[in-house]
Amino acid sequence: MRKQFFVMIGLVLTLSACAPPFSRSTLDKVDPQVSFQVLAREPESYIGKTVLLGGNIIEIYMESDQTWIEILQKPLDAQQKPQYTDVSYGRFFILFPDFRDPAIYAPGREITVIGEVEGVRIQKIREMDYSYPVIVPKESHLWQPQSMTGPFFNIGIGVGGVFR
């Protein structure tokens, strides 16, 4: 009886850890042909297309009743979470049509968005004009910050580690 209890708890934890953060209906609308590299070259060519992007928040800007979040793009893993890597193909903006609290959507946080390409916004990075693709979200997922202090539980076979 006790063994069955632990097996059930393990199964529930395993299944909940694998649950995707986005609805299947929204994922089905993503155009898999539009990678970030393609989008960054010609954002205007993809206006109206639905894309799946993610990365790290760089900055947040409040304008009247809108929130602009500047993102450093990162490749996504199988769960659509931005990977912990130095690889990036550029930057983009997520344009939320409402207020998002800068204390929660803080620089460094990881975010993934499924949204529609709205166009491009030109903004300076130091002295250089930079063209940011602008995404209006259909769904977004702000990932929990990773703490190096808590217990870590992993289920798997093989050798692994965390290097930061």
Show the 3-state SS of the chain.
Answer: CHHHHHHHHHHHHHHHHCCCCCCHHHHCCCCCCCCHHHHHHCHHHHCCCEEEEEEEEEEEEEECCEEEEEEEECCECCCCCECCCCCCCCEEEEEECCCCCCCCCCCCCEEEEEEEEEEEEEEEECCEEEEEEEEEEEEEEECCCCCCCCCCCCCCCCCCCCCC
Residue 157 lies in a domain: no
User: Could you list the residue range(s) of the whole structural domain that residue 133 is in?
Assistant: 22-142
pLDDT digits (tens, 9 = 90+) for 118-135: 999 999 999 999 999 999
Q: For the residues 151-163, what does the mean pLDDT come to?
A: 59
Residue 104 lies in a domain: yes
pLDDT digits (tens, 9 = 90+) for 6-38: 444 544 444 445 567 899 999 999 999 999 999
Residue 16 lies in a domain: no
Q: pTM, whole model, 2 decimals?
A: 0.78
Residue 41 lies in a domain: yes
Residue 51 lies in a domain: yes
Residues in the chain, how many?
Answer: 164
pLDDT digits (tens, 9 = 90+) for 138-148: 999 999 987 64
Q: Is the confidence at residue 42, as pLDDT, over 80?
A: yes
Residue 90 lies in a domain: yes
Domain at 66, CATH number: 2.40.50.140
Number of domain units in the chain: 1
